[in-house]
A and B are shown apart, each in its own frame.
Chain A
């Protein structure tokens, strides 16, 4: 039989291996390029005043991001408080109660589908649900929007983490007479708490960068976030958007980069931190 040229096959293989190496390097380089640019551009804006002063219109001295930072923290905390209890219980239902497998499958499927929903639609939804009836923007509405985004994520990570707890643990505690409820909450959740916390933190990291929902709910204000419940609430992502796109002034752009740096550092720290602390199986977000 006529033999194929080995040389051609090996050449194609070598080219492919180089290409795949380049692909990896390109992707990692992209990360480094972007992060390093954020650091370089944002550094110049950082100063104690930057962190302590609230934002002010262009031209007014002593402007900072303190109010936006505070507002973002309040909004995110609110979202976590709103989303976590029901999401964990929903995850518990998926993981622990197996008597209607078809229903569970549908719910799990729906949660996965919800995770891919565009955040701008969530913003529209909460706008109609809360902003219009109330007649004003609010930080609370923003928290609700972010909570809706967090909900399916925490639900699924909870299910996955609880699923990793060995079945024997459940049997053992039921065998000594504990109720299902107590078993789940006190024993199983406690055993999986590392994973559950990781899931919540990662969901938080993900929503803290979301901008589109905030445009429809909290908008922005150059004041301290006292109006969390009743008025527009300053926050980081919208501040960045405003300073970058709605302002022609270099000083504002610089402040925007500073704010971008702060968010990026926080989010990356959260991500890297959870990865290091909890070396559990990674799940694609």
Chain B
């Protein structure tokens, strides 16, 4: 399968402190790649390099290459706004914008495209269906995004992320703030979504990684210790640290 994303010799610094060391990671297209590891190992940081969201903060910088379809997204010639349209991000806590359900999903469309009213309506409905949320909100599209339940809000964020038809979805512990029922729904959704999008998900829940991902990368102290097919990683880890983490000896 072709590589959608590839990290090559990626290093990351908070000020003078280095937190990612020479990361090399292939991410296959239209698969779910899980990123696991103990707290503070750099997995969220790695995710946040992919859509250059770290650039919001002055003292954070990345060195190396992150290739999207062979093109280095970290280069200054890449347009960040278009990159972020193409790479969607979902956060640990649901982050609905202070607007109606409809406007939340329509917002990226409004930002990046010129669409007629009916076109926008269609796209919003498509996105909400794609996030398994349409049936639940179709009668309250005008309600505030904040009025939905936690699980619904997170699916709203997913709908918003897929509305502008990105190619990649980055998910940073998307279910950590949700109850088991809502978590299950989102996990089901992710398996559906991988048919259309390349997904990279950071999770501290190993069972979740084992359940839904195709490939897994294990991070420890900023280094990718091991990477491979999920089934192999969880049944036959090569590295001792990987085995220790998976069997729960630390983290």
Contacts and interface: CB of A to CB of B under 8 A. Distances in A.
Contacts of A283: none
B120 to A, nearest CB: 10
A2 interface: yes
A6 interface: yes
A2 B113 contact: yes
A186 interface: no
B111 A6 contact: no
B113 A6 contact: no
A100 interface: no
B81 interface: yes
Contacts of A34: none
A9 to B, nearest CB: 7
A259 B79 CA distance: 58
Interface string B158-169: 000000010000
A265 B22 CA distance: 57
Contacts, number: 22
Contacts of B114: 2-4
Contacts of B119: 1
A57 B115 CA distance: 76
A10 B79 CA distance: 11
Contact of A2 (B79, B81, B82, B115): B115
A9 B112 CA distance: 9
Contacts of B111: 4, 9
A3 B114 CA distance: 6
Contacts of B81: 6, 9-10
Interface in B108-137: 109, 111-115, 119, 123
A1 B82 contact: no
B121 to A, nearest CB: 14
Interface string A1-42: 111101001100000000000000000000000000000000
B79 A1 contact: no
B82 A4 contact: no
Interface string A165-198: 0000000000000000000000000000000000
Contacts of B113: 1-4
B196 to A, nearest CB: 16
Contacts of B79: 6
Interface of B: 79, 81-82, 109, 111-115, 119, 123, 165
Interface of A: 1-4, 6, 9-10
- Give 5 closest A-B pairs by Cβ, nearest first: A1-B113, A2-B114, A4-B114, A4-B112, A4-B113
